[in-house]
Structure 1
Amino acid sequence: MGEQGPDGGKKTAKATKRAAPVKKATAEKGAVSESAAKKTGAAKRTGVAKKTGVAKKTADVEKTGAAEKPASAASARKAPLAKKSAPPKKVTVAPKKATAAVKGVAPAKTVAARSPRDESRTALVRRARRINRELAEVYPYAHPELDFENPFQLLVATVLSAQTTDLRVNQTTPALFAKYPTPEDLAAANPEEVEEILRPCGFFRAKTKSVIGLSKALTEDFGGEVPGRLEDLVKLPGVGRKTAFVVLGNAFGRPGITVDTHFQRLVRRWQWTEETDPDKIEAAVGALFPKSDWTDLSHHVIWHGRRICHARKPACGACPIAPLCPAYGEGETDPEKAKKLLKYEKGGFPGQRLKPPQAYLDAGGTPAPPLGAG
C-alpha cells in the first residue's frame, strides 16, 4: 500500500503522475534501444551478406579468371571488387642440348660424332687411346723421319730440323757427317765451313753455333758420348725437351713425348687438352696414356699431321679417325676432294701425292722401306 500524506490520497496521485513520465521515458529509451538493436543486427547481417557476396564474387572470379563489373559507381564504392587475375604467363622451356631429339623433328645427321667439351675424364681417355690404336693401324711403320746411324747423328739432325723439313735435313746431314763424323771432329770445326754446309736448312748461323756447342759439351763433359738422361740432354746448347725425347725414345728406347708443331695442333683439335705451352701439353697428354706408348704415340700423331690433318686444309673426308674427331668439318669433307689433299714424301720429292700408307706394305704385310728413303 502507498504511504498516505497529510491530505490523504492526493499524495499518491501526485507521486503517480510524477512517476509516469519516468516510466514513459524509460519505455522510450527501451524502444530506442530495441530499434538500435534491430538496426545493429540488420547492419551486421548486411555487412555479413556484403562480405559473403564479395567473397563469393572473388571466388567466382578466381575460378573463371575474370571479375564482373559493378552495377553502378555507388556499389563500386561500397563493395571492393576483386583484382582481375593476370593472364597466365607463357612458360619458356630452356632448350635441351643439341644432341637431344626434338619432338616431331628428325635428329640432324652428322658424319662424325663430335665429342663434347664437358666429356668425362674416362670418356676422354677411352677416345684418345682409340685414336692412337686407329693411327697405329694406318701407320704401322711410323718412325722418326730423320736419317741417322747413331745417337750423335740423331741429336744433331733433330737440332737442325727446327723451322725446316726432315727431308731438307736428310739432304744436308750426309755431307756434314762425312766431314765431321764424331763430336770431337765437329767441336774442332771451322764455324764458317759448317755454316756453308748448313745453309740450306735455314737459320744456319744459329744452328752452326748450336751443333758446335753441343759437340764441345759432349767432348768435355760426357767423354764424347750422348747421355741417356733427360736432365743431361737439356743442358746441351740448342737441346730442349722435344729434342731430348726424340733422342731418348729412338736412340735409347726410353719413352718420351715429342711435342712439335704437328703434335700441338692435333691434340688441341682432338680436344685432348687446351694447353698451349709445350711442357703442359706433354704433361696433359702423357697422363692419358701408359708411359710405354709415349714414343709410338708421338710418331703416330706427327705422321698423321704431316700427311692428312694439315694445318690449313685438313683432309677430313679421307681421315680414318673422322668419327672420333671433334674438329671434323674444319677441312674438306668430300672424299674425292679430300684424297687430293693427302701428302706423302718419298724419294726427294716434297709434297708428292702418293698412295695411302697401306700401299707401302708388301704382299706379306711387311712394311716397305720407310718414307724418305731413296
Structure 2
Amino acid sequence: MPDDKLPFDINAVIRRIRKAVEPFPKAAMFELADRGFRTPFQQLVACIISIRTTDEVMLPTAINLFAHASTPAGVARMSVDEIDALIRTCAFHYGKAGQIHEIAERLVAEHGGELGCDEALMLSFRGVGPKCTNLVMGVACDEARIGVDIHVHRVTNRWGYVAAPTPEATMAALMEVLPKRYWVEINRLLVPFGKHVCTGRLPKCSICPVLAYCRQVGVTEHR
C-alpha cells in the first residue's frame, strides 16, 4: 500500500462522492425516473437508447419518444420508421427502433401489454444484457442490483476496489465486496463522478474527494 493512501473504506468513499456529485446532472435513467418515467418498459427502452450514446443525448431522446408513446401498446402501434424518426439523435437509431418495436409487440402479444419486474424476460429480448436488466431492476423495481457501465467499471477498478478486465467481470466482483445498500446507488453516483471528476483521460485527481483512498490504478497522467 502506498504510504500516502488510507485503507480503502467504501462507506467513507460513498459519503464523499454523494457530496461531490451534487452540482452535476443526475445519471439519465435516474433523472427519467424522477420525472415520472419509471416503469420497467420505459426504463428498458431508455437503456436501449443509451447504448453508445451520451446521457445528454439519451435523456431528451427518450422523453421525445415517450411524449408520443410510453407504453408497450402505444409503441407497438407505431412503425419502426416512426420510432426511428423520434430517436434518430441517438447512435444506431434504426437498429434500436427495430429492437424497441419488437419488444413492444412481444409484450402486447405474449404478456398482456406489460413488462413486469421479470429478469429472465428482459434478458430474453434481443440485444438486452445484464447491464440494462440490472439498471431496470434497480431503478424501476427497487431491487438490489448493480448496473455496471463504463464509468462504474473504470472508477471502481481505478480505486483498486476490484480488479476486473470487463464490465461484466466488474459486476461479479462488486457483488462480492460492495454492501448491498449501495448496489443501486453505485451507478447513480459513479456516472456523474466518472463524467466530471474521474474521467477516462486525465482524471481530475487534484480535486478528487477520495484521492486519499484511491490507488490510481492505471493512471499515468492526471489533472
Q: TM > 0.5 between the two?
A: yes
Which residue in the other structure is 1:40 paired with?
Answer: none
Q: Does 1:128 align with 2:15?
A: no
Which residue in the other structure is 1:310 paired with?
Answer: 199
Residue identity opposite 1:208 in structure 2: A
Equivalents in 2 of 1:197, 1:224: separation in Å? 21
Residue identity opposite 1:330 in structure 2: E
Q: Does 1:248 align with 2:137?
A: yes
Match of 2:54 among 149, 152, 165: 165
Match of 1:323 among 201, 212, 218: 212
Q: Does 1:183 align with 2:72?
A: yes
Which residue in the other structure is 2:124 paired with?
Answer: 235
2:27–2:188: 8 Å Cα contact kept in structure 1? yes
Q: Give me the CA root mean square deviation.
A: 2.3
SS at match of 2:115: coil
Which residue in the other structure is 2:186 paired with?
Answer: 297
What is the total number of aligned residue pairs between the two structures? 214
Which residue in the other structure is 2:89 paired with?
Answer: 200
Shift of 1:329: 6.7
Residue identity opposite 1:234 in structure 2: L
Equivalents in 1 of 2:2, 2:171: separation in Å? 32
Deviations 1:185-223 (A, max 9, x none): 212321122222221112111111111111122222322
2:57–2:89: 8 Å Cα contact kept in structure 1? yes
Unaligned runs of 5+ in 1: 1-96, 100-112, 116-122, 333-374
Equivalents in 2 of 1:228, 1:297: separation in Å? 20
Which residue in the other structure is 1:274 paired with?
Answer: 163
Residue identity opposite 1:134 in structure 2: R
Q: Does 1:145 align with 2:28?
A: yes
1:184–1:224: 8 Å Cα contact kept in structure 2? yes
Deviates more, 1:127-136 or 1:280-289: 127-136
2:27–2:191: 8 Å Cα contact kept in structure 1? no
Which residue in the other structure is 2:115 paired with?
Answer: 226
Shift of 1:262: 0.8
Residue identity (%): 26
Q: Please, what TM-score do these two structures have when normalized by structure 1?
A: 0.53
Shift of 1:150: 3.1
Q: Please, what TM-score do these two structures have when normalized by structure 2?
A: 0.85
Which 4+ runs in 1 deviate beyond 3 A?
139-144
2:79–2:101: 8 Å Cα contact kept in structure 1? no
Deviations 1:22-59 (A, max 9, x none): xxxxxxxxxxxxxxxxxxxxxxxxxxxxxxxxxxxxxx
Rg larger in structure: 1
Equivalents in 1 of 2:20, 2:150: separation in Å? 21
Equivalents in 2 of 1:324, 1:259: separation in Å? 21
1:143–1:299: 8 Å Cα contact kept in structure 2? yes
Cα gap change, 1:318/1:329 in structure 2, threshold over 3 Å: closer, same or farther?
farther
Superposition pairs of residues 1-374 of structure 1, within 5 angstroms: 113-114=4-5, 126-139=8-21, 144-146=27-29, 147-148=32-33, 149-151=37-39, 152-327=41-216, 330-332=221-223
Residue identity opposite 2:86 in structure 1: I
Structure with higher helix content:
2
Deviations 1:314-335 (A, max 9, x none): 1111111111111177311xxx
